């Protein structure tokens, strides 16, 4: 029993760690450009398939492949911003929603044609035996997932708080015109935020594949989970997104154990709608209306 | 955008396309082609509905596919269990979809746009989960099949020619319903989409307009779903998948946003292109996404928009004569103890103020004094924490922003909020009290245009004007609603000396005409020449109020008046 509970808790944390990366990238773009990147879920899936492919080619553990996945997914983010964001940045945000949906459709169908619809498993993060704590055996996969995500979140935190890029990003998010007038190249800043967001999405894909598999159709569910985590955690806060991801993963693992997987998913969406109705500011408050 | 041109060309092209489709149904004998045409008709109805919420109001709903699925499943389930009459089945499909939309809309449509898009995606995922997992009801992954042909008054409407004809006749009905509100409503939806604040200020209730548009789109989707299931004879979870939604979006974007003709072009392409593009195999959807992206980048009006710019008449309609402006004059505003905080910051503290008929009151004070907050409370964009605002004996606190224009309160904006692609005349016409007729609204608009000396710009798009001229247009826009109290936010900023003098003359004339004015202004000289009374605000408090010359002479108020202080 103790082992089951420990393992369940560990799995929840691992899933939450991956979701947190998805949610952080999602929020990063919203804060930088004031519009949702609807291809974000598909970028996570793409990251998963990049990991699957690299795993097949090189037969290396996921941790070693991670830099390559980050780089390739980041490149996808750059391409996305060039195709779907910059040409339309002067128009209303809905244009960007639709253009990112279009790119997401292209990405999803490219993956579908190359890999097929069946869920695929990516390379394990590490090759190691389960960790034994007395009676209890713990999955090293889950532990590695948590550690890897923790490293990335810490890296993001330092990037946003300690570097020039972070300061520029925050200035651009607050007031693009003002940022431009003090000499910030807002286009470069925005392109970089797309790259970082996509790299985080790719990393999340890499972390998700060994335990949860990926299939090309997962994008919509992933972006919704990121959104639920963000709505629960509030916009623009690192710890909010982390807590939101934990709640989403917890309800998914516990709901799937007690009820069924579809029932858990449905419950998540119902909670989302109820929250938007009753408490649209997030649990920690910030006016929903002010983010256009 | 010229709403009459967009709409008249859309009516022309859309009617022609509908006529061709109906003719094709009558002539064609090939059952395979008829079947494709039937499916195209269902898509057309689905997309026509979507044009109202997404195309015209610019609200990205991702639930249109879900409403289609609801219509489909309701038809199939009721048809199999109780063999209801066809009209009953389709009515049930429409009612079910519309009902769900009205239930989920109020909480969702109040939200900022991306919240709405994602919340509607959650609704869509819920419908998909229900379709796959509620096996007792929906048949699960296998769906429901062997539906009998629909019966209407005892006659079976067979698949093939009769059903296809019925589908296209219903598509024509949807097109007529779409066109019915006319060009003035189209113009107002455009303003609401491009400039929501102005929309509220001219009396359009954003949420109400959105809910009715959302319900219309859902009703069309429900009907389309019901017909689609009749045309194919089966229903399965794939009609609830996101791919359907993507197709709807693609039909609208590729065919032409906000237009029936766009929906029809998109629907025919969606139904017939897969045949032509069979060589692409699994890459068809990829190509569909790429086409959508290209359209967005190169031709935002879609194919219908391209045809319009090629074929439609180009001359802009000449504005006609002014009509006398109806005005029920006068009114007094009584503000008592008004307070507003933002978190820990006090924006307004216990502000009291009265404005009489034909009175001009100016507000001065440093940045952050609470001037704009006061205007926002009066125009309903923000809610006061305490205090009362009585206007003509009505407490404004209970009146949302869009109700205040009909009450006779107008406002101009400090920063440019008007949409750039409409003409001066139309930007003002959108705000006129006229309800249905664009030409009457334009005639009324011309009154305000002449008053501010903008006649030469009447047919110019706003984006081609200087910022100063656009400010005058915004003032004319506020005047067009025939207000009795006008709230002006920094009306002189950015104006040249000559424009400033024109404005001074116009505002004095307004007072002669019976209006009361409340204006925020940094140009103290302008206020000294214009205002009957001044209010000095600092850190949310009224420091002093009284006749301008008296205040300017007070030593304690020197910092408010700068070089205009009388010493």
Determine the residue of chain B that is closest to A108 in CA distance: B286
Q: Containing H/E element for B81?
A: helix B64-82
Asked if the structure places residue A53 within a domain, the reply is yes
Contact residues, chain A, for B274 at CB < 8 Å: none
Q: Is A105 on the interface with B (CB under 8 A)?
A: yes
Are β-strands B386-391 and B155-157 bridged in parallel, bridged antiparallel, or unpaired?
Answer: unpaired
Nearest-CA distance A252 → chain B (Å): 15
Q: Is A35 on the interface with B (CB under 8 A)?
A: yes
Q: Is A112 on the interface with B (CB under 8 A)?
A: yes
Asked if the structure places residue A206 within a domain, the reply is yes
Contact residues, chain B, for A82 at CB < 8 Å: none
Token pair listed for B389: 């605002």
For residue B137, give every residue at least 6 positions away whose Cβ sits within 8 Å of its Cβ, in sequence order, or none: B73, B77
| Interchain pair B289, A105: CB under 8 A | yes
Regions of chain A with pLDDT less than 70: 234-237, 279-292
With contact defined as beta carbons under 8 Å apart, do B45 and B170 qualify? yes
Contacts of B389-396 with C-beta under 8 Å, sequence gap 24+, read B389/B333, B389/B334, B389/B335, B389/B338, B390/B333, B390/B334, B390/B335, B390/B336, B391/B331, B391/B332, B391/B333, B391/B334, B391/B485, B392/B331, B392/B332
Nearest-CA distance A130 → chain B (Å): 36
Tokens 């920094």 belong to: B490
Q: Give the nearest partner residue to A106 out of B60, B126, B286, using CB atoms.
A: B286
Q: Is A273 on the interface with B (CB under 8 A)?
A: yes
| Interchain pair A289, B112: CB under 8 A | yes
Contacts of A188-192 with C-beta under 8 Å, sequence gap 24+, read A189/A32, A189/A165, A190/A32, A190/A33, A190/A81, A190/A85, A190/A86, A190/A89, A191/A78, A191/A81, A191/A82, A191/A86, A192/A165
Token pair listed for B364: 């001065």
Kindly report the length of chain B.
Answer: 567
User: Most B CBs within 10 Å: which of A41, A85, A109, as the mutation test of the B interface?
Assistant: A109
Asked if the structure places residue A131 within a domain, the reply is yes
Could you give phi then psi for residue A215, rounded to 5 degrees? -140, 155
Q: Is B253 on the interface with A (CB under 8 A)?
A: yes
Asked if the structure places residue A172 within a domain, the reply is yes
Look up the domain containing A7 and give its range.
2-217
Q: Average pLDDT per run of 10 along chain B, which is 567 residues long? A: 86 95 91 92 96 89 95 93 86 96 82 78 93 88 79 74 92 95 90 83 82 94 95 90 90 92 94 83 86 90 90 64 56 86 82 89 86 87 86 83 85 80 89 86 86 86 86 87 88 84 87 88 87 88 85 79 73
With contact defined as beta carbons under 8 Å apart, do A44 and A208 qualify? yes
Question: DSSP letters along A14-64, please?
Answer: HHHHHHHHHHHHHHHHHHHHSS--TTHHHHHHHHHHHHHHHHHHH---HHH
Contacts of B146-152 with C-beta under 8 Å, sequence gap 24+, read B146/B233, B147/B76, B147/B79, B147/B80, B147/B229, B147/B230, B147/B233, B147/B234, B147/B235, B148/B79, B148/B83, B149/B230, B150/B79, B150/B86, B150/B89, B150/B90, B150/B230, B151/B83, B151/B85, B151/B86, B152/B85, B152/B86, B152/B87
Q: Is B280 on the interface with A (CB under 8 A)?
A: no
Asked if the structure places residue A44 within a domain, the reply is yes
Output the pLDDT for position A282. Answer: 59
What are the tens digits of pLDDT across the range A6-59? 888 888 999 999 999 999 999 888 888 888 899 999 999 999 999 999 998 988
Q: How many domains are contained in chain A?
A: 1
How far apart, in whole angstroms, are the C-alpha atoms of residue B28 and residue B95?
A: 33
Are β-strands B386-391 and B541-546 bridged in parallel, bridged antiparallel, or unpaired?
Answer: unpaired
With contact defined as beta carbons under 8 Å apart, do A51 and A206 qualify? yes
The widest CA-to-CA distance across chain A, in whole angstroms, is 63
Which residues are paired to B339 by β-bridges?
A: B386
How far apart, in whole angstroms, are the C-alpha atoms of residue B117 and residue A38?
A: 10
Output the pLDDT for position A291. Answer: 35
User: B269 vs A110, B264, B301, CA distance in Å?
Assistant: 22, 9, 16
Integer-rounded Cα Rg, in Å, for chain A is 19
Q: Is B115 on the interface with A (CB under 8 A)?
A: yes
Asked if the structure places residue A155 within a domain, the reply is yes
Output the pLDDT for position A287. Answer: 39
Q: Which domains does chain B have, with CATH numbers?
A: 3-311 (1.10.3470), 333-564 (3.40.50.300)
Query: Cα angle at A25 between B106 and A117, to 5 degrees?
Result: 85
Give the distance, in angstroms, between the CA of residue B556 and the centroid of all CA atoms in the same chain: 49
Asked if the structure places residue A251 within a domain, the reply is no
Contact residues, chain B, for A102 at CB < 8 Å: 250, 253, 289-290, 292-293, 296
Q: Is B343 on the interface with A (CB under 8 A)?
A: no
How far apart, in whole angstroms, are the C-alpha atoms of residue B415 and residue B43?
A: 42
Tokens 């560990």 belong to: A10
| Interchain pair A105, B285: CB under 8 A | yes
This model of the complex carries an ipTM of 0.86
Nearest by Cα to A145 from A18, A5, A282, A275: A18
Query: Cα angle at A42 between A39 and A48, to 5 degrees?
Result: 150
Output the pLDDT for position A38. Answer: 92
Nearest-CA distance B522 → chain A (Å): 22
Output the pLDDT for position B150. Answer: 75
Output the pLDDT for position A288. Answer: 37
Residue B461, number of CB atoms within 10 A of its CB: 18
Give the residue ranges of DSSP H helices in B196-322: 196-201, 206-232, 242-255, 260-276, 284-298, 302-311
How far apart, in whole angstroms, are the C-alpha atoms of residue B28 and residue A164?
A: 67
Residue B359, number of CB atoms within 10 A of its CB: 18
Contact residues, chain A, for B289 at CB < 8 Å: 102-106, 109
Nearest-CA distance B316 → chain A (Å): 25
Asked if the structure places residue A270 within a domain, the reply is no
User: Most B CBs within 10 Å: which of A89, A105, A106, A280, as the mutation test of the B interface?
Assistant: A105
Q: Containing H/E element for B359?
A: none
How far apart, in whole angstroms, are the C-alpha atoms of residue A24 and residue A200?
A: 8
* CB-side neighbour CA atoms (13 Å) of B104: 29
| Interchain pair B115, A288: CB under 8 A | yes
Kindly state the DSSP code that residue B52 receives in the 8-state scheme: I
| Interchain pair A289, B111: CB under 8 A | yes
Nearest-CA distance B112 → chain A (Å): 5
């Amino acid at each position: 029993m103790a082992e089951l509970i420990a393992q369940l808790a560990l799995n929840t944390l691992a899933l939450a760690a991956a979701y947190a990366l998805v949610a952080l990238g999602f929020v990063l773009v919203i804060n930088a450009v004031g519009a949702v990147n609807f291809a974000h879920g598909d970028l996570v899936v793409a990251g998963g398939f990049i990991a699957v492919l690299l795993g097949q080619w090189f037969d290396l553990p996921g941790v070693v492949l991670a830099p390559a996945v980050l780089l390739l997914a980041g490149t996808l983010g750059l391409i996305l911003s060039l195709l779907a964001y910059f040409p339309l940045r002067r128009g209303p945000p809905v244009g960007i929603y639709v253009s990112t949906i279009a790119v997401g459709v292209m990405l999803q169908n490219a993956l579908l044609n190359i890999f097929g619809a069946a869920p695929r498993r990516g390379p394990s993060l590490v090759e190691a035996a389960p960790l034994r704590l007395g009676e209890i055996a713990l999955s090293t996969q889950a532990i590695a997932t948590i550690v890897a995500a923790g490293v990335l979140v810490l890296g993001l935190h330092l990037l946003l708080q300690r570097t020039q890029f972070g300061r520029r990003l925050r200035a651009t998010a607050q007031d693009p015109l003002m940022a431009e007038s003090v000499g910030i190249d807002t286009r470069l800043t925005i392109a970089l935020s797309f790259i970082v967001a996509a790299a985080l999405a790719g990393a999340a894909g890499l972390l998700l594949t060994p335990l949860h598999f990926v299939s090309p159709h997962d994008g919509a569910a992933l972006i919704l989970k990121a959104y639920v985590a963000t709505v629960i955690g509030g916009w623009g806060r690192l710890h909010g997104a982390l807590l939101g991801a934990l709640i989403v993963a917890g309800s998914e693992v516990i709901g799937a154990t007690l009820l069924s997987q579809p029932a858990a998913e449905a419950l998540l969406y119902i909670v989302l709608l109820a929250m938007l109705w009753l408490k649209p500011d997030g649990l920690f408050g910030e006016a929903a209306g002010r983010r256009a | 955008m010229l709403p009459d041109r967009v709409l008249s060309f859309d009516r022309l092209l859309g009617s022609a396309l509908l006529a061709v489709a109906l003719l094709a149904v009558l002539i064609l004998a090939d059952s395979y082609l008829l079947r494709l045409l039937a499916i195209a008709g269902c898509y057309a109805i689905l997309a026509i509905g979507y044009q109202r919420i997404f195309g015209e109001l610019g609200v990205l709903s991702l639930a249109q596919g879900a409403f289609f699925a609801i219509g489909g499943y309701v038809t199939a389930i009721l048809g199999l269990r109780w063999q209801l009459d066809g009209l009953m089945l389709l009515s049930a499909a429409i009612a079910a979809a519309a009902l769900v939309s009205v239930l989920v809309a109020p909480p969702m449509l109040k939200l900022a746009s991306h919240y709405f898009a994602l919340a509607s995606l959650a609704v869509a995922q819920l419908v998909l989960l229900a379709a796959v997992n509620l096996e007792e009801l929906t048949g699960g992954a296998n769906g429901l099949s062997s539906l009998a042909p629909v019966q209407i008054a005892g006659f079976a409407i067979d698949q093939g020619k009769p059903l296809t004809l019925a589908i296209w006749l219903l598509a024509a009905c949807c097109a007529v319903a779409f066109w019915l509100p006319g060009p003035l409503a189209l113009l107002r939806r455009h303003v609401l989409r491009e400039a929501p604040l102005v929309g509220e200020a001219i009396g359009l209730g954003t949420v109400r307009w959105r809910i009715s548009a959302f319900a219309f789109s859902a009703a069309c989707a429900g009907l389309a779903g019901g017909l689609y299931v009749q045309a194919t004879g089966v229903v399965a979870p794939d009609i609830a998948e996101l791919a359907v939604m993507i197709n709807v979006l693609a039909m609208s974007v590729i065919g032409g946003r906000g237009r029936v003709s766009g929906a029809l072009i998109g629907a025919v392409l969606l139904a017939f292109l897969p045949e032509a593009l069979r060589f692409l195999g699994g890459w068809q959807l990829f190509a569909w996404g790429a086409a959508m992206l290209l359209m967005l980048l190169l031709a935002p009006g879609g194919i219908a928009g391209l045809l319009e710019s090629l074929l439609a008449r180009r001359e802009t309609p000449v504005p006609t004569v002014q009509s006398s402006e109806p005005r029920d004059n006068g009114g007094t505003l009584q503000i008592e103890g008004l307070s507003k905080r933002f978190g820990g910051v006090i924006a307004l503290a216990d502000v009291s103020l009265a404005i009489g008929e034909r009175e001009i009151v100016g507000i001065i004070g440093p940045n952050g004094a609470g001037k704009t907050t006061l205007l926002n409370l009066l125009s309903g964009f923000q809610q006061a924490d305490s205090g009362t605002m009585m206007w003509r004996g009505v407490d404004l606190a209970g009146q949302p922003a869009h109700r205040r224009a009909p009450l006779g309160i107008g406002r101009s904006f400090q920063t440019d909020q008007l949409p750039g692609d409409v003409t001066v005349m139309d930007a003002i016409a959108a705000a006129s009290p006229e309800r249905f007729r664009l030409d009457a609204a334009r005639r009324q608009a011309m009154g305000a245009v002449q008053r501010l000396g903008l006649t030469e710009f009447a047919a110019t798009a706003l984006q081609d004007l200087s910022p100063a001229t656009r400010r005058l247009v915004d003032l004319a826009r506020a005047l067009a609603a025939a207000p009795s109290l006008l709230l002006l936010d920094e009306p002189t900023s950015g104006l040249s000396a000559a424009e400033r003098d024109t404005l001074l003359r116009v505002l004095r004339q307004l007072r002669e005409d019976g209006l009361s004015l409340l204006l925020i202004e940094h140009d103290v000289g302008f206020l000294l020449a214009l205002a009957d009374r001044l209010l000095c605000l600092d850190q949310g408090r009224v420091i002093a109020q009284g006749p301008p010359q008296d205040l300017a002479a007070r030593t304690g108020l020197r910092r408010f008046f700068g070089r205009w202080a009388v010493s």
